[in-house]
Amino acid sequence: MIKHRGFPGRLPGTDFQFTVRRANPKGATPIVERRRYPDRRAADKRADEAFLLALCQQFGEDPFERGNLDAGRLSWLFGREVVAAEDPFDPTSYEALLRVDFARAQASFPDIFIE
């Protein structure tokens, strides 16, 4: 499992995790597309926004390996702002390639793309 050096481990001041410390010996937790309801807590929305910003700053529009990125946090963005960069996509692999869909990310989180 690749460890993304320089990537934030969590949202500062919270328990929202962005990375995992070590690989699960039973295999990677599957990435699934989670539905985001409009009445989610503000803290959850801030965590999504901060995680997406970190992905954009670290990888840009280039494909990246899942590695030590938290499956739960990825799942909140998967299928919308973060998409599979390979076909077939294995949601249970630490080596799975993903990429940020900048058009959808900007539509969903316009505040992080203000320059």
- Count CB neighbours of 50 within 10 A: 20
Residue 2 confidence class, pLDDT cut points 50, 70, 90: confident
Q: What is the largest CA-CA distance in the chain?
A: 43
pLDDT of residue 112: 80
The larger pLDDT score, comparing residue 55 to residue 14, is at 55
What is the model's pTM?
0.87
Nearest by Cα to 48 from 19, 20, 16, 22: 16
DSSP 49-61: HHHHHHHHHHHTT
Residue 115 has pLDDT above 60, yes or no: no
Tens digits of residue pLDDT in 3-52: 888 888 888 888 888 888 887 888 788 999 999 888 889 888 899 999 99
Residue pair 33/79 in contact (Cβ under 8 Å)? The answer is: yes
Residue 113 has pLDDT above 80, yes or no: no
Tens digits of residue pLDDT in 72-99: 999 999 999 999 999 899 999 889 999 9
pLDDT of residue 99: 94
pLDDT of residue 43: 87
pLDDT of residue 114: 58
- φ/ψ bin of 67: left (φ > 0), alpha (ψ from -120 to 50), beta (otherwise): left
